[in-house]
Amino acid sequence: AVSFTYIVKATEPALSAVLAALILKSYLPLPVYLTLVPVIGGVSLASVSELSFTWKSFNYAMMSNLASASRGIVGKKTINQRVGKNLTARNLYAIMTILATLILLPVTAFLEGPTWVRTWHRLVSNGEWQRYVITCLVASLTYYTYNEVSFMALDNINPVSHALASTLRRVFIILSSMVVFGNQMSLLGALGS
């Protein structure tokens, strides 16, 4: 369920805290770390009560957490060093996005290439390829813009605080998925959320 994925993604601040301590040697006051306890507890409650729980889904969500937290930590470390003449938060995010694309595109093409070809042929034969391309472009631009603004915010705050602030949007996404897709939540899941 969409809600389960975003509940697990809410643990990103805890991973950010661990990575910030290990990599940046950045430690926050104890009350900040204590705010992570209800997040972890909520995720645990919501996970055990989720009917569609699978370890595969949990592991992918945690890999996404690790990647997002790592991006924030590496970004913060690089932003703080002010490497280069024009390496602002916006430019750094652009460079990181380009590098990630160059690294992941061949892997994705290898794993998903045949599916891409079949899907493209189906889109062309149904006359839907133009709508698909436009939708992809709009989604890509809005997602990139959102992340660029997020990276600009990271320039001004600690990675753990940044990750905690990011969890607020997860509440909106969970509630939206319940309304739009009719996703159900158990009482423990709702309490955990």
Hey, what are 39's tokens? Answer: 């997040």
Structure tokens at 129: 């390829």
When pLDDT is averaged across residues 119-144 and rounded to a whole number, the result is 95
pLDDT at 29: 82
Query: What band does 133 get if pLDDT is binned at 50, 70 and 90?
Result: very high
Q: Is the pLDDT assigned to residue 10 strictly greater than 80?
A: no
What is the tens place of the pLDDT at every residue in 161-173?
777 777 666 667 7
pLDDT band per the 50, 70, 90 thresholds, residue 74: confident
Residue 67 has pLDDT above 80, yes or no: yes
CA–CA dist 72, 27 (Å, integer): 15
Block residue for tokens 């690790």:
66
Share of the chain above pLDDT 70, in %: 84
Residue type present at position 143: Y
Short-list 39, 48, 5, 57, CA closest to 174: 5
Query: Taking residues 135-147, what's their average pLDDT?
Result: 93
Tokens of 80: 């703080």
Residue 125, pLDDT > 90, answer yes
Give the number of other CB atoms < 10 A from CB of residue 3. Answer: 25
Tokens of 138: 């709009």
Condensed to tens digits (0 to 9), the pLDDT of residues 92-105 reads 888 889 998 999 99
- pLDDT-derived band at 179 (thresholds 50, 70, 90) equals confident
Distance of CA 146 to the CA centre of its chain: 11
The structure's pTM equals 0.64
Between helix 55-81 and helix 2-9 the angle, nearest 10°, is 40
